[in-house]
Structure 1
């Protein structure tokens, strides 16, 4: 009987201790509320800033905070302290320490697909072409979390990225390079287009130049593969990036080259493009980096007045718009949330990736009239007069393409 009461006392002690060790649910709720406030301030758009708070233990109440901005962690801790909440925050400002010194990367395939999660089944986010410089933030389940030059955050398979230390990255950046200018082609194992291919290539791919002989460039991939490409299909990257600012004719010439290419959600290459991937790539192949998504592009460049009584007026648009301007559309006219973009050609015509890259008109009665897009247009921006602004950047001025990094 004594043993029974001793055991019963022990059980009651464990239950009592366990209940005492559990944090007040109101504390957890308040932590989440304060975290939400901080996230909204410092990472309102998770496409460009990262913030993730996860509870680790309950006794003591401990959280792991992964984020891209140190000031967010500082503010969260200050808020918790101001309310005397006994919470431990274990923070890690990316890049993750697990990467060591290899926090830089170069896209290693003609096109790498990136996703919103470290999983093959995750939604496609965007693409990056061979030679694109990347900032690598962490690794999880065979995927790297990377930031592309357009500031986009997403996950890509580890096979598509060559990791580098700062010194290795700067060696890549300072080396002489070529940029592929044909829409699509191949790099070959010998200086002959009859030889076996080493890789496919798409417009905008960037490779290190080893030598030039007999009408071929001998080039090196980020993973040290050696191949050959015809000098007719590429040009000096340094010469290309210092070309004068493009005009509308150049942007539209590039855009028209994509006619008929199928729509692909997240696509930014000739293998498939979504609407903003199409506009972004039309500008990039002329040396200009603009934001990735339509809703982001709609916030940069020179805002154009095409409205009458708070609605887009087609007649006014025809007078105001110039070739090369970006048009923006919202499927929901009430929220006016931008969901689509296109490039204006002139005379009421525009070129867009919708099903496939095609040319349509906003003028009723035209053979290629697009009724839906014409009714859902909500704004327009002029990028060509904004070149040099922080988010309409020449490649040669962009931080990711400089010879040296901070």
Structure 2
């Protein structure tokens, strides 16, 4: 069984309960495999990054296997506006956030199941150069931190880096510890360029945080909100509290 998200932003939960922890979000247009289907909840696996979790059965649309395969093999298009809307042929509006998927997009039209929608906003679909990573990251500045979030209304550290890279045509896994397995290791901060990622660990040595390196040893990351702080050999230096908040583990280059 297969499905596609037909709502703007849907929570993906750790277990099959409304009170369970939200571990991720499913944005409009994302398609997935249904691993298990129960009376109220389905366990799904997202096509984009293989992330698994539980979604309410009322918050997605089932699609046949051939539609899933066609979507998987088609060019990926993403909404490039901070917040916008799509309309169907009855002029019903659906809001969609930055980074929403636009299935089968062509000539301002997209399709979810049998429904055709019109979208007139900016569309992201090509691989962009490294300076575009920073330009895109600025769109999320001051977005509140939200565990499991990946939209302009709330985002976590790895959701931020994944979405920024996605909008620029580059693929990252979902969690910071997974992203840290990708890319090329840099030995020193001095080797880094704007758009590289810095990863940070906790006292147990587990990678728990990630941010995007900017010019002049600055870093943009989601901590309380998407903010800009200083980066040094120890880690992140919070410009407001004047304290180090995260311990540097490794710097990686992806582009």
User: For the superposition of Structure 1 and Structure 2, which TM-score range results when normalised by the shorter chain?
Assistant: 0.7 to 0.9
> C-alpha separation between the residues in 1 aligned to 2:242 and 2:15?
35
**SS of 2:18 mapped into structure 1:** coil
Cα deviation, 1:123-171, whole Å, max 9, x if unaligned, reads 1111122221211111124111111121211111112222222223345
Larger RCO, structure (CA 8 Å, separation 6 or more): 2
In structure 2, the residue matched to 1:254 is 136
Aligned partner of 1:206 in structure 2 is 101
Per the alignment, residue 354 of structure 1 pairs with: 223
2:8 is the counterpart of 1:110: yes
Q: What displacement does 1:373 show? A: 3.1
TM-superposed CA distance for 1:115, in Å, is 0.7
Q: Deviations over 1:56-88 (max 9, x none)?
A: xxxxxxxxxxxxxxxxxxxxxxxxxxxxxxxxx
2:26 is matched with: 128
Query: Matched residue pairs, number?
Result: 251
2:80 — aligned with what?
Answer: 181
Q: Against the structure 1 CA distance between its residues 381 and 234, is the aligned structure 2 distance closer, same or farther, given a 3 Å change threshold?
A: same
Q: CA RMSD in A?
A: 2.7
Q: Is 1:359–1:368's contact at 8 Å kept on the other side of the alignment? A: no
Q: Return the alpha-carbon distance in structure 2 between the equivalents of residues 116 and 283 of structure 1.
A: 25
Q: TM-score scaled by structure 2?
A: 0.87
Contact 2:238 2:245 in 1 (8 A): no
Which protein is richer in helix relative to its size? 1
Larger Rg computed on CA atoms: 1
> For 2:94, what is the secondary structure of its paired residue?
strand
Aligned-partner Cα distance in 1 for 2:248–2:228? 16
Q: Say whether the 8 Å CA contact 2:229–2:237 is kept in structure 1.
A: no
Shift of 1:329: 1.3
Within 5 Å, give how 1:324-403 maps onto structure 2.
324-332=195-203, 335-362=204-231, 367=239, 371-373=243-245, 376-384=247-255
* Paired residues of 1:259 and 1:357 also in contact (CA < 8 A): yes
More strand as a share of residues: 2
**Long gaps (5+) in structure 1:** 1-102, 307-316, 385-406
TM-score with structure 1 setting the length: 0.56
